[in-house]
A = this chain, B = another copy of it.
């Protein structure tokens, strides 16, 4: 598809320039882009208004309209986001190790940009500026494919950033938007491995599945979170209740929200009524196994499907187990490898859980809600990887870098 080939070639070309930029040049570009977003706020809001009108006409739900909507504060937020990236340390160019071999060769491993990064995402238009900021800071060209609902907003944002880069003498093709929102174009985009080094899907499970199934570009899966809290027989009940309340109810629609409880049978009789009371006060509905329902029969019965589900809603599943081993097995079977927590005051159980649970982040006595780039101290994140290659957990700037070996010789042959 010539349309995509052109975009790919331009991105590659921009990437070779970005690779040679100094940190201060990149920061300058980010500052100019942040400024331009503020200066041209009206343009962005007008374009966003067009998206909103179309969205309402097509019967978009209130909550989706809300995600789509930009206002003065949100535009300011985008600009502020870019300035926060300016403040982060540029990882590019660091030589992580350098050794001297017996034959005198000096071999260093140096951090370099990945090259060209593709990002496929759904409605929220502020992702457009965020993704550009992180990719640009790490010297990567980015090709964005946003949702069709936000097309006008995205075009406005990308156009403003590109103009700002051009004025700063930097390659505007550092960020390109795929404006053709046809599905066939998206599929072709996933097969553009000749030009794209990494593809990051950000969105629901359906989008991620489609990308994994179809992409020939290396993919980092992000975001799906069926997170568990396991209440051990040695749990402090008050701590467990506070953590579960926070992990489930602080924000319903995010990936590090708790979707499933696992409770040791020795404390089930006493603990389940307490957690039921605490969460039902916040309109959470329980779907539980037979043993839990025998204790608290107002709960709905859980199906097999419930245990594997990321509800993102006022629902939680509950399972009673007879041992920590059974808890670990249950969690490792149903989880999405995102974030899991144990509440216990027994050292051996804490260590066993940390060692044997297979997930990006494993917690002892803390809420799963902390799995987040800024909570981890990375400053910003491009997503949360739930796979095991390259990056696992919150992905900050480092996740957008690769390495190369640089070898200094004096005529060595083998």
Contacts and interface: CB of A to CB of B under 8 A. Distances in A.
Interface of A: 16, 19-20, 99, 101, 105, 107, 114-115, 193, 197-198, 212-213, 216, 218-220, 236, 239, 242-243, 245-247, 250, 332, 354-356, 358-367, 369-371, 375-377, 387-390, 392-393, 402-414
A404 B101 contact: no
Given A407-B366, A408-B364, A388 B242 contact: no
A355 B17 CA distance: 11
Contacts of A193: 212
B369 A410 contact: no
- The 9 A-B pairs at the shortest CB distance, nearest first, are namely A366-B409, A246-B413, A388-B402, A390-B390, A361-B405, A365-B409, A389-B390, A369-B414, A366-B412
A355 B407 contact: no
A8 B365 CA distance: 33
A212 B412 CA distance: 35
B354 A406 contact: yes
Contact of A392 (B366, B370, B404): B404
12 contacts: A20-B356, A115-B388, A197-B389, A218-B388, A245-B413, A360-B404, A361-B407, A362-B406, A366-B412, A369-B414, A392-B405, A393-B404
Contact of A242 (B362, B405, B413): B413
Contacts of A236: 411
Contacts of A367: 409, 412-414
B411 A250 contact: no
B388 A114 contact: yes
Nearest to A363: B407
A105 B374 CA distance: 13
B413 A358 contact: no
A389 B200 CA distance: 12
Contacts of A402: 388-389, 392
Contacts of A361: 404-405, 407
B216 A218 contact: no
